[in-house]
Amino acid sequence: MPGAGARGVYRLADPRITLASAASMLLGAAAAAGDGPLSWAWLAATVAGIFCMETAKNASGEIVDFDSGADLAVAPEDRSPFSGGKRVLVDGLLSRGQVAAVAALGYFLAAAAGLAIAVAREPRVLPLGIAGAALAFFYHAPPLRLSYRGLGELAVAACYGPLIACGTYLVQRGSVSREVLLASLPLGAMVAAFLWINEFPDTRADRSAGKLTLVVRLGRRRATHAFFGLVTAAYAGVALLPVAGLPPAALLGLAGAPPAFRAAHRLAIAYDDTAALVPAQGWTLASFLLLAAGEAAGLLLG
């Protein structure tokens, strides 16, 4: 059982999903480093707080998705490394009480880190922290249940784009620059695209549980076109960054375009085949990481 418990906590921490917040923090930190020296201690506090918030969100969401039946309804052939829920309760790795305890501890530690930053470093980070915590909790939880109402994709784009990147910059520099805000928008769109493609294998289960994601609402066929549009908008945004006054080196973010459009092509021809979609999910993950790394390098070089 101790081994099962460790696996359960690891699944709730979910390093693959944490990469989204890491990418946004990288962008914010790189923009801040381009404008002055970094405070590594406060950067570490930022990273720790957001990591705890991520784990707490996953844990509280695990309970909601289990209770709604969304996780239980995922057919074996529709499971993938990137979708189908954390399945901690479904697989019996942790009890309901243990998952709730992980969620409570995660939210407590995230709040402690945020309050420490607000009191001792930058008080204006507090509204961003409260907004992030609210979006994290109510992404699944009632009464808002954002992911059940077709608003989860927008919440993810906002959190993993401007909110985290600008918050990271704010902790370092005491303000938010126009450059980091603009650079964060394409990243938010690509992280939303990662969520979008991960919703395809869960469509049947989500529909049966009343989880009306945008993929469920649109249907898989039309949702493939929307995915292509989202990817196109993200990389058009990167291409326009120098026009908006950012350094030309920000175009390094276009390094993520090839895997993104490769994923869009695979999705268009295999949107109903989970096994065939798994590589496309991985390509989309690689895409937003390359976008973030390229933009970050471009802001530093600029």
Residue 2 has pLDDT above 60, yes or no: no
pLDDT of residue 114: 97
What pLDDT sits at residue 15?
Answer: 81
42 Cα distance to chain centroid: 22
Q: Which of 151, 159, 165 is nearest to 253 (CA)?
A: 165
The runs of H, that is alpha helices, within the chain are 2-13, 15-34, 40-68, 96-120, 125-138, 152-158, 164-173, 178-198, 203-208, 214-218, 220-239, 257-270, 274-301
- Domain that includes residue 120, residue range: 2-301
With a cut of 60, say whether residue 271 has pLDDT above it.
yes
Q: What is the pLDDT of residue 272?
A: 95
| CA-closest candidate to residue 200, choices 189, 215, 190 | 215
Compute the Cα dihedral for 74, 80, 85, 88 and give only its sign.
positive
- State the amino acid at position 123 in one-letter form: P
Question: Does the pLDDT of residue 40 top 80, yes or no?
Answer: yes
Structure confidence by residue, pLDDT tens digits, 75-103: 999 999 999 889 999 999 999 999 999 99
Of the chain, the percentage scoring pLDDT greater than 90 comes to: 95
Model confidence pLDDT, tens digit, residues 167-183: 999 999 999 999 999 99
Give the predicted TM-score (pTM) of the model: 0.95
Q: First and final CA of the chain: distance in angstroms? A: 52
Largest CA distance in the chain: 57
Q: What's the confidence (pLDDT) of residue 225?
A: 98
Tally of domains within the chain: 1
Q: Supply the CATH number for residue 74's domain.
A: 1.10.600
Q: Is the pLDDT of residue 1 over 70?
A: no
Q: What angle do CA 288, 293, 297 make, to 5 degrees?
A: 150
